[in-house]
Structure 1
Amino acid sequence: MLRILEDRHRQFWLLHSLGWLGFALVAFLGSLFQEMRDAYLLVVALDAYAGWLLTIPLRYLYQRIRSFHPAALIGSVLLASLVTAACWSVIKNFNYWEIYRHGFRPKDWLQYLEQTPVSFYVMLSWSGLYFGVRYYQSLQQEKQKLLTASNKAHEAQLKMLRYQLNPHFLFNTLNAISTLVMLGEADTANKMLSRLSDFLRYSLYKDPIKKVPLQQELHAASLYLEIEKVRFSERLTIEYDIADNTEQALVPSLILQPLVENAIKYAVARQAAGGLVAIKARKFGHDLLIEVADNGPGMPIDAGLPKENSGLGLVNTRERLAALYDKNFSLVLTHNQPQGVKVNIRIPFEVEETDEEHSESHRR
């Protein structure tokens, strides 16, 4: 029963069958108040079965036209309901006359359609219930996706905070600041302390559920990289290649942090000569392309992910993107040239609407 309730296809057949069974019961109960012979029960059963069969094609028709403009959709539903009602009216009259009236034949064939208005309201009710159930299912699915996205975002934030509050990270940063103070470079130490404060504040107070402009994410990434540059000094090289038309593009908050963190941990820190972290962003059609690359020793890759569980957190990032964008995204890990690893993310290009655009959209 749980599988039936969780599967949309099974839900349709269950509700569809129960609906027409309910119609048959109502028609039967109505006959109790009239002097009807037992043959009328057969007529009711056949009418309900005919309605059950005739409304099945409506389901597949509505699946195809549900993306139509509202006016076209309403017109199509009314027309489809009317045609189905006419067919059902003919079948009902035929059943009644053949079975209950012992082969009665009307002189005018239009009498076969005399119940069409009543049948039309029944079919229209079926159509309304169908779209109502579909809307409810879609609403529940969106709520489930939002809940999943929320859980993944909070999980990502907790993982990031665990690293940020790692004693080694804080010790190295604070030790570098202390060294700068001892060397008399108070201004530099003050700047680094300010960057650390801003970085932790962004991590702690930024809502991970909301999307933020790419510019903000780049700022947070730059704070983190500048802090790490104190640790690695000239061993860490940072490059940005951000197209101007991408800075206001909306991205999931905290999405760059694990990618940059991985580049530092698995590329720069493992090489005596240090390494490069390069961040690139481009708009391509209706998509935003983000790339985080390094020139480290690399690693085995299989199907866009590390072959071994290296603790990269890319699986979690992929699941979070899937929760936010369904199937309209990609996250791929590839080999960089001449060496290193490159992470490519593709998500829909979105920008935050201005108040004027929002008002115009609302008026439409």
Structure 2
Amino acid sequence: MQASGWLAYAVVIEVAIKLPNADPLRTDLLHLLVDVVTGIAVSFGLRAIYLRSWSFHLLWRFSLGIGGIVIGSSFWTYMKWISLLALQGQPGFYISWYDFGTWQLASVGILLAWTGSYFGIKYYLLLQRENRRTYEAMAQAKEAQIRMLHYQLSPHFMFNALNSISTLVHLEQNKSAATMLDQLAKFLRYSLDIDPLALIPLQMEVEAMQNYLSIEQTRFGDRLAVEFQIEPEVAQALVPSMLLQPLVENVIKYVISPSIDGGKIAIAAKAESDSLVITVVDDGPGIAEGANGEVNISGGIGLQNIASRLDTLFGNRGSIDLSNLPQGGAQVRLCIPLQYGHSKVVA
């Protein structure tokens, strides 16, 4: 920018001022060279002053800047004046103080413009740096939050699964316990290998849930019925990993387990406009409603966890809603942006 700016200055001075005055070419070019070289030297001097005063109070910085411009413009004008006198070499040739003052004002104006450009660029770069630091800090906080929410599920699930295995062992159902341990190992391998920041194909998440439900069916047998209705066109849509497990676990805990006859879980997914809608429906007694007939997610850590993850990942483009169905049972409805591609990390 220095080179471009001073080249433009030289062209303007040569074309607009020197050529119309018909100065001898050699004198004209030599004086222009002195003019530009001195201007560049003064600008580097101002830059050194501005860099040293950057940590000073604003008033001191402003005062040093004004002082540097006045002194620098005076030196610049003086060099142009004496160089022109020396190059002309004609008896009686002189430059009036009016001309000197005109040159001085021009020098001040140019250095003010240079100073304005310098500080404008400087503040712009600082702003970009601060924006980048803010973005990086937000990304790190977001990553930490997602990881915390993801791994918060593991101890909760592990407690329930191991408690079920312990029950099977106490009932001397060793074969069922061994099968459940094998299924648990597969599911845990999935939950630990998947990056908590990753968006994965819905089909992969569904397969993990099928494995999870097979663990629970070892425990509940015919009391647990499961139905999947995944539309083929959304099978490869990307979803947060471990999105369905807390929902299914809630149904098992509050609907299947307390009931003698058990119950049914229906998991469905479809596209609605530019959104992926996933529903988890049960045939239980429904969810307790508040004083205003509203159903909220404040009662369960799993549902709060999902709400927090969706908000962190998608903002207002992600939502979770609970409702009681007219025919009985409850529905959890998840809505996230519909997107495809390979598994990717969101941070």
TM-score calculated relative to the size of structure 1: 0.58
Q: Secondary structure at the match of 1:315?
A: helix
8 Å Cα contact 1:321-1:329 kept in structure 2: yes
Matches within 5 A, 1:96-245: 119=113, 122=116, 126=120, 129-130=123-124, 132-133=125-126, 135-166=128-159, 169-173=161-165, 176=168, 192-245=180-233
Taking a change above 3 Å as real, the CA distance of residues 260 and 144 of structure 1, as seen in their structure-2 partners, is: farther
Matches within 5 A, 1:284-323: 284-301=272-289, 307=296, 309-323=298-312
Name 2:41's counterpart in structure 1: none
Q: How many residues in Structure 1 have an aligned counterpart in Structure 2?
A: 260
Query: Identity of counterpart residues, as a percentage?
Result: 28
The one-letter code of the counterpart of 2:164 is N
- Residues 255-286 of structure 1: CA deviation (Å, up to 9, x unaligned): 22111111211222232221221211122232
Name 2:318's counterpart in structure 1: 329
1:194: how far off?
3.3
Cα distance in 2 for residues equivalent to 1:306 and 1:226: 30
- Provide the alpha-carbon RMSD of the alignment: 4.1
Taking a change above 3 Å as real, the CA distance of residues 160 and 122 of structure 1, as seen in their structure-2 partners, is: same
1:308: how far off?
7.9
Cα distance in 2 for residues equivalent to 1:124 and 1:292: 60
Taking a change above 3 Å as real, the CA distance of residues 212 and 138 of structure 1, as seen in their structure-2 partners, is: farther
8 Å Cα contact 1:295-1:336 kept in structure 2: no
Cα distance in 1 for residues equivalent to 2:234 and 2:299: 31
228-237 vs 140-149, greater mean Cα deviation = 140-149
Cα distance in 1 for residues equivalent to 2:299 and 2:340: 34
1:175: how far off?
5.3
Taking a change above 3 Å as real, the CA distance of residues 308 and 225 of structure 1, as seen in their structure-2 partners, is: closer
8 Å Cα contact 1:173-1:230 kept in structure 2: no
8 Å Cα contact 1:277-1:294 kept in structure 2: yes
Name 2:270's counterpart in structure 1: 282
> Which 4+ residue blocks in structure 1 deviate beyond 6 angstroms?
18-21, 177-182, 302-305
Name 1:31's counterpart in structure 2: 70
Looking at CA atoms only, which structure, 1 or 2, has the larger radius of gyration?
Answer: 2
The one-letter code of the counterpart of 2:317 is N
The one-letter code of the counterpart of 2:215 is I
1:309: how far off?
4.6
8 Å Cα contact 1:293-1:341 kept in structure 2: yes
Taking a change above 3 Å as real, the CA distance of residues 146 and 208 of structure 1, as seen in their structure-2 partners, is: same
Identify which of structures 1 and 2 has the higher relative contact order when contacts are C-alpha pairs closer than 8 Å and 6+ apart: 2
Cα distance in 1 for residues equivalent to 2:143 and 2:339: 19
Name 1:247's counterpart in structure 2: 235
Cα distance in 2 for residues equivalent to 1:268 and 1:135: 55
8 Å Cα contact 2:201-2:236 kept in structure 1: yes
8 Å Cα contact 1:149-1:209 kept in structure 2: no
- Residues 229-276 of structure 1: CA deviation (Å, up to 9, x unaligned): 122222211111111122222211112211111121122223222122
1:191: how far off?
5.5
- Residues 10-34 of structure 1: CA deviation (Å, up to 9, x unaligned): xxxxx9xx88985564123332567
Cα distance in 2 for residues equivalent to 1:253 and 1:345: 14
TM-score calculated relative to the size of structure 2: 0.61
Cα distance in 2 for residues equivalent to 1:180 and 1:248: 42
- Residues 192-247 of structure 1: CA deviation (Å, up to 9, x unaligned): 44322211211233221222211111111111111111222222111111111222
8 Å Cα contact 1:238-1:276 kept in structure 2: yes
Matches within 5 A, 1:340-359: 340-353=329-342
Alignment pair present for 1:263 and 2:251: yes
The one-letter code of the counterpart of 1:348 is P
Taking a change above 3 Å as real, the CA distance of residues 34 and 118 of structure 1, as seen in their structure-2 partners, is: closer
Taking a change above 3 Å as real, the CA distance of residues 178 and 304 of structure 1, as seen in their structure-2 partners, is: same
Q: Secondary structure at the match of 2:268?
A: strand
8 Å Cα contact 1:304-1:331 kept in structure 2: no
